[in-house]
A and B are shown apart, each in its own frame.
Chain A
């Protein structure tokens, strides 16, 4: 079936247009300076340890760069080692499809300096190696800048979070008791069946 070339050209153009439409990470400049309290390699317990993040505008950029910044969202992001063999945490350039930073720490209206926030690490954060990244959003809720506490290659200042197990003593006991009950009930069945057999005579 011959596909008219005009149709091909238009569809290709549309293709580029749509991909160009979403904001990509590589188009963002690192205009924020972000620090986080955990030391490199420190292990934090979810639901227990605190994390403090600070962010500010990077003064080395020309002063009007942050004119359209309205809000800042600070997120916990997976380091490459925690993304390995886990495609649901994949880094994709198009921001709408990117899954690197899935856990929000805080969202605040933008101000150029004196931003700091402390909170306990939430109990549903999974175990892994993390870094902190802040995204600046404009009025249309699109990313326009970012900052992170690690270097460009995501190698330094990474810290580890240890998740809660979700287990409780009561659950463990219930689980074991029910299991034991099943096995004992089975033994009971065999005994009943055997005695039924004997009583037939």
Chain B
């Protein structure tokens, strides 16, 4: 296992124990030590800020719709626009992370979308409202940089936990905003005395400023990788500046990325859809008042505090014994149960039972999101960013598709839509059965004899690139990911690495 040579090195340089890539092998929540835990806190806080901004409008819709003279169609379209902007932005963000590093990629995106939030204050028509929600929604692609950053800072044994916590606590923003924005609005309206139609405009400055400050924090306090920023590592030759078309090619030709994109659309996409429609559902079907409906809606998002991280932690726990096969099985089971609960939710007629089922459903669907990103870091090493981006983008595609098919116009009642959405979740979870890693196996088949992690990760580099030594980082990752075999089969031997590569490759 870990040789003393490494732990000496650790003590000198890092606050947490690290592996050969200097990724942390432990996760200490209450530490802010550079670079690992600091990166964690920076990433979840900034992602939280982006979620707050993107879903800042829904709780204030009763005021905004009167000010801007919106119809139900305008509101529905703006809701779809808010989640559709990020579909391609997430893939772009993934590429940017691979090429420029998560620190620059995320702080740039956050600063570029902050104007959309500031300009929401001066929106004057349904069209303007749609535009600001569309562009603000681009900021949701910081999800990809969050997951990429965690996968760069944390070792395979804890990457699920890190990804789940940062993703989950960021998603929390979608629930928190349902409580924050009405509070800010009423403070401005009653304490400062602004009229209703001015107070909501001023209220939008709060998420906008928060978002801008988080970008500054990332830029000045963050670091791309445990050993430094991309710019410095590339200059010193430790990191090779990769080629965009190669990175992109290796991502889109990996079928696992596409399957995960589809299945993520039916856990995270469903979560986004519910964020948009659930308050109205409770208001209309059970005649609760708007304030109560808002609190119920908030509780769905707030479950993210523990449910998504729970999924990530569960993924890591299962992997210790069963490896990647355990991660895949758990994901399949949890997401299937989520689909079943969704089906049930649409059929329930009483308020208390409905709230109870919704809460259990939220835990399962959000845990499935956490479990998905327990698998994603292993699909590719070279194109980690683009794969993360594709999966993340797939989540948003799921949200757009589901809202357009089931929750627009009067074809289905909301409860019919929810039940049908449950059926669709179950159908779209089936493809997980087809994911297969030659070195670890899949749901039904074991690993291919003689296939190793190195074979899998080094296949992303061609001969010329290997001769130039560009594949060094993939090599380290390949060895560290041997933990994904679980402890049922071959005993894991982790050799210690210095900065120079080993003599046998």
Q: Do A and B come together as binding partners?
A: yes
Cα distance A49–B67 when bound, in Å?
A: 18
Which residues of chain B have C-beta atoms less than 8 A from A186's C-beta? 107-108, 111-112
Pick from B67, B112, B232: contact of A163, CB under 8 Å: B67
Shortest Cβ distance from residue A140 to the other chain B in the assembled complex, whole angstroms: 22
In the complex, are the beta carbons of B235 and A168 less than 8 A apart?
A: no
Q: Which residues of A contact B216 (CB under 8 A)?
A: 185
Q: Cβ of B72 < 8 Å from any Cβ of A?
A: yes
Main secondary structure of the interface of A (DSSP, over half): helix
A166-B196 contact in complex given A171-B122, A171-B202, A189-B108, C-beta closer than 8 Å = yes
**B73 in the interface (beta carbon within 8 A):** yes
B69 in contact (CB, < 8 A): yes
A175 lies within 8 A of B104 (CB): no
B112 contacts A165, C-beta separation under 8 Å: no
Are A166 and B112 touching (Cβ within 8 A)? no
Q: How many A-B residue pairs have CB under 8 A?
A: 110
Choose one: B72, B119, B198; the contact of A179 (CB below 8 Å). Answer: B119
Residues of A contacting B107 in the complex (Cβ-Cβ under 8 angstroms): 186, 189
Interface residues on B, range: 35 or more
CA distance A123 to B195 in the complex (A): 7
Among B67, B119, B236, the one with the most A-chain Cβ atoms within 10 Å of its Cβ is: B67
Distance of A42 from chain B, by nearest CB (Å): 18
Given contacts A128-B69, A179-B114, contact A164 B195 (CB under 8 A): yes
Q: Please choose the segment from A57-65, A66-74, A85-93, A144-152 that sits at the chain B interface, where 4 or more of its residues have CB less than 8 A away.
A: A85-93
Let me know if A109 is at the binding interface, CB within 8 A: no
CB distance from A19 to the nearest CB of B (A): 13
Q: Does A9 contact B (CB under 8 A)?
A: no
**A21 on interface, CB distance cutoff 8 Å:** no
Q: Is A126 close to B, CB under 8 A?
A: yes
User: Which residue of the partner chain, among A127, A172, A185, contacts B69 with CB atoms under 8 Å?
Assistant: A127
Q: Are B122 and A172 in contact (CB under 8 A)?
A: yes
User: At the interface, yes or no: A112 with Cβ under 8 Å from chain B?
Assistant: no
Given contacts A126-B66, A167-B201, A193-B104, contact A182 B115 (CB under 8 A): yes
> Of A87, A128, A182, A196, which is within 8 A of B212 by CB?
A182
Q: Mark A170-201, 1 if CB is under 8 A from B, else 0.
A: 01101110111111011001100100110011
A186 CA to B122 CA in the complex, in Å? 23
- Chain A residues with Cβ below 8 Å from B212 are 178, 181-182, 185
Number of interface residues of A (CB under 8 A): 36
Chain B 271-293 residues near chain A, CB threshold 8 A? none
Would A200 and B231 count as touching, CB distance under 8 A? Answer: yes
A153 near B: Cβ within 8 Å? no
Query: B208 to chain A: which residues have CB within 8 Å?
Result: 178
Asked if B71 lies at the interface with its beta carbon under 8 angstroms from chain A, I say: yes
Judge whether A182 and B111 touch: CB under 8 Å: yes
Does B47 have its Cβ within 8 Å of any Cβ on chain A?
no
> Could you tell me which residues of chain B, from 206 to 246, have a CB within 8 Å of some CB in chain A?
208-209, 212, 215-216, 219, 229, 231-232, 234-236
**Residues of chain B within 8 A of A193, CB atoms compared:** 104, 231
- Which residue of chain A lies nearest to B216 when distances are taken between CB atoms in the complex? A185
B104 near A171 (CB under 8 angstroms)?
no
In the complex, A162 Cα to B164 Cα: how many Å?
49
Q: Contact between A166 and B67 (Cβ–Cβ < 8 Å)?
A: yes
Is the Cβ of B195 less than 8 Å from the Cβ of A88?
A: no
Known: A128-B69, A189-B219. A196 touches B231 (CB 8 A): yes
Cβ contact of A200, chosen from B115, B209, B236, cutoff 8 A: B236
- How many whole Å from A81's CB to the nearest CB in chain B? 11
Smallest beta-carbon distance B504→chain A, Å = 32
- Residues of B near A190 (CB, < 8 A) are 104, 108
Q: Inside 8 A of B196's CB, which chain A residues have their CB?
A: 124, 166
Closest to B114 in A: A182
Pair B69/A175 contact, Cβ less than 8 Å: no
The residues of A that contact B7 with a CB separation of less than 8 Å are none
List chain B residues, Cβ under 8 A from A166. Answer: 67, 195-198, 200-201
Select which of A123, A172, A183, A185 is within 8 A of B197 by beta carbon: A123
Say yes or no: A126-B69 contact (C-beta < 8 A), given A165-B197, A166-B197, A182-B212: yes
Q: Which of A171, A172, A180 has the most CB of B within 10 A?
A: A171
Report the separation of the CA atoms of residues A166 and B63 in the bound assembly, to the nearest whole angstrom.
11
Given known pairs A86-B71, A166-B67, A186-B111, the reply for A196 and B198 (CB within 8 Å) is: no
Q: Is the CB of A175 within 8 A of B197?
A: no
Known A-B contacts A171-B198, A182-B212, A185-B111; A197 and B231 likewise in contact (beta carbons under 8 Å): yes
B121 with A175: CB separation less than 8 A = yes
Q: How far is A189 from B209 in the complex, measured between Cα atoms in Å?
A: 18
B205's partner among A123, A126, A174 (CB-CB below 8 A) is A174
Which residue of B is nearest A47, CB measured? B195
User: What are 24 residue pairs bridging A and B, where the CB atoms are less than 8 Å apart in the complex?
Assistant: A87-B72, A88-B62, A123-B195, A124-B66, A124-B197, A165-B67, A165-B124, A166-B67, A166-B200, A168-B198, A171-B121, A171-B122, A171-B198, A175-B121, A175-B205, A176-B118, A179-B114, A179-B115, A182-B111, A182-B112, A186-B108, A189-B219, A196-B231, A197-B231
Beyond contacts A182-B115, A183-B115, A186-B107: 6 other A-B pairs, Cβ-Cβ < 8 A, are A85-B71, A124-B195, A168-B198, A183-B112, A186-B111, A189-B111
